[in-house]
DNA sequence: TCGAATGTTGCGAA
DNA sequence: TTTCGCAACATTCG
């Protein structure tokens, strides 16, 4: 599903196609796509404005306008498509922006969880998000301090967008496996050495996935129905029962914080700091 | 046939 | 502060 690498892939693909164009109109094809705002009010706020930049923050796609910002969240099944006017329409289109130059930006979302909104001031959104894991300002030392300040289990903590922005179920499982940390470990019990290892694992797994244009596990697509290629590089996610690539032990799948969680019971021991 | 599982966020409640 | 369960949805799986 769209996590940081998938959203980054979408932004890199779509940005050049729409930046500099003007929004000439907006149509909601499903009444809640702009919730809690009404589609009419959203349309009034963005119509006539030029798209200055097209960027990502966490899992949000942000369109900087002349005045204010459009934010788009793909949630689970959202996709952005650019179509030339007159092109045949797709199923599950929930909203469309009419752009200058006879071109449209379409929001496709089978499960209807995705949302589009407008903000005058981006701070309202930014304040709810933790650090960007790939920014150089995000340091191993900082992550260690953050972990040591929490009593929560490490997996739900990493999924919390106010703790760190952009990670979802797939990359949390992958990063914890690569760092050899059990997903149910109390965050404050993670040694500084392991915290630094986790920092490296997070950056490596995200960077590598962006390079391969994300993970297509079920539905993620970008552009003209293209898939990401990182799925082949997944070491633990979706591999329950398969041998651990590190030690050969069967990969386990359990439920932590209501989320399917994959790990190796041998490589990722919950207690004890002796397994490196 | 049908209930369970899927996965992200936000909400209220414990 | 943190955890828990649910709701928002459609589709696929067993």
pLDDT band at A273; cut points 50, 70, 90:
very low
Q: What is the dihedral of CA A135, A212, A126, A21, to 10 degrees?
A: 120
Query: What whole-number distance in Å separates Cα of residue A61 and Cα of residue A56?
Result: 5
Fold entry, domain A140-263: Helicase, Ruva Protein; domain 3 (1.10.8)
Considering only CA atoms, name the residue closest to the C1' of nucleotide C5: A258
Please enumerate in sequence order all residues whose Cβ is within 8 A of that of A2, keeping only pairs 6 or more positions apart, or say none: A10, A59, A74, A75, A76, A78, A168, A214, A220
Strand ranges across the sheet with A103-109: A23-28, A93-99, A103-109, A78-84
Instruction: Say how far apart CA A118 and CA A122 lie, in whole Å.
Output: 9
Work out the pLDDT band at A1, boundaries 50, 70, 90. Answer: confident
pLDDT tens digits, A69-79: 999 999 989 99
Taking the domain A4-126, which CATH number applies?
A: 3.20.190.10
User: Which one of the listed residues A59, A94, A108, A197 is annotated catalytic?
Assistant: A59
Q: What percent of chain A has pLDDT over 90?
A: 72
Is residue A59 annotated as part of the catalytic site, yes or no? yes
Give residue A151's pLDDT: 85
pLDDT given at position A88 = 77
Q: How many CA atoms lie within 13 A of A211 on its CB side?
A: 8
Quick: pLDDT tens for A178-213.
999 999 999 989 999 999 999 999 999 999 999 998
A57 CB inside 7 Å of strand B: no
A214 strand B contact, CB < 7 Å: no
Q: Which residues contact A248 (CB under 8 A, 6 or more apart)?
A: none
Identify the pLDDT of residue A106. 94
A45 pLDDT exceeds 90?
Answer: yes
- Tell me, what's the pLDDT at A271? 67
User: Given a cut of 90, is residue A228 above it in pLDDT?
Assistant: no
Q: What is the pLDDT of residues A112-165, one digit of tens each?
A: 999 999 999 888 888 889 999 999 999 999 999 999 988 889 999 999 999 999
Q: Which residue has the tokens 């999924």?
A: A159
Q: What is residue A275's predicted lDDT score, i.e. its pLDDT?
A: 36
Answer whether any strand C atom is within 7 A of the Cβ of A183. Answer: no
Whether A276 shows a pLDDT value over 60: the answer reads no
* Secondary structure letter of residue A118 according to DSSP: E
pLDDT of residue A96: 94
Distance, in Å, from the CA atom of A198 to the CA atom of A177, rounded to the nearest integer, reads 9
Query: How many Cα atoms within 13 Å fall on the side-chain side of residue A17?
Result: 18
A257 touches strand C (CB under 7 A): yes
Q: Please report, for chain A, the start and end positions of each structural domain, with discontinuous segments joined by +.
A: 4-126, 140-263
Q: Work out the mean pLDDT of chain A and round it to a whole number.
A: 90
pLDDT of residue A137: 93
CA distances from A104 to A19, A57, A87 (A): 12, 23, 10
Per-residue confidence (pLDDT) for residue A127, from 0 to 100? 84
Query: Which of A87-91, A96-100, A229-233 shows the highest mean pLDDT?
Result: A96-100
pLDDT tier at A219, thresholds 50, 70, 90: low
């Amino acid at each position: 599903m769209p996590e940081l690498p998938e959203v980054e892939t979408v932004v890199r693909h779509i940005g050049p196609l729409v930046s500099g164009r003007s929004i000439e109109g907006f149509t909601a094809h499903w009444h809640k796509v702009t919730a809690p705002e009404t589609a009419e009010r959203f349309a009034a706020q963005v119509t006539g404005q030029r798209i200055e930049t097209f960027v990502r923050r966490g899992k949000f796609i942000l369109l900087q306008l002349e005045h204010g910002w459009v934010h788009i969240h793909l949630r689970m099944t959202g996709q952005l498509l650019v179509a030339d006017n007159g092109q045949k329409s797709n199923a599950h289109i929930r909203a469309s922006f009419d752009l200058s130059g006879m071109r449209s930006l379409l929001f496709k979302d089978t499960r209807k969880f995705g949302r589009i909104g407008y903000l005058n001031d981006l701070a309202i959104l930014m304040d709810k998000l933790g650090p960007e894991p790939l920014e150089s300002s995000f340091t191993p030392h900082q992550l260690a301090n953050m972990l040591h300040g929490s009593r929560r289990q490490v997996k739900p903590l990493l999924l919390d967008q106010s703790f760190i922005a952009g990670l979802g179920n797939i990359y949390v499982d992958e990063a914890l496996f690569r760092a050899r940390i059990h997903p149910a470990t109390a965050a404050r019990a993670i040694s500084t050495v392991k915290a630094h290892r986790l920092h490296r694992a997070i950056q490596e797994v995200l960077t590598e996935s962006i390079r391969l244009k994300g993970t297509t596990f079920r539905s993620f697509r970008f552009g003209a129905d293209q898939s990401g290629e990182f799925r082949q590089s997944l070491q633990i996610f979706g591999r329950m029962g398969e041998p651990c690539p590190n030690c050969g032990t069967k990969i386990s799948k359990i439920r932590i914080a209501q989320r399917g969680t994959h790990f190796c019971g041998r490589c990722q021991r919950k207690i004890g700091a002796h397994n490196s």
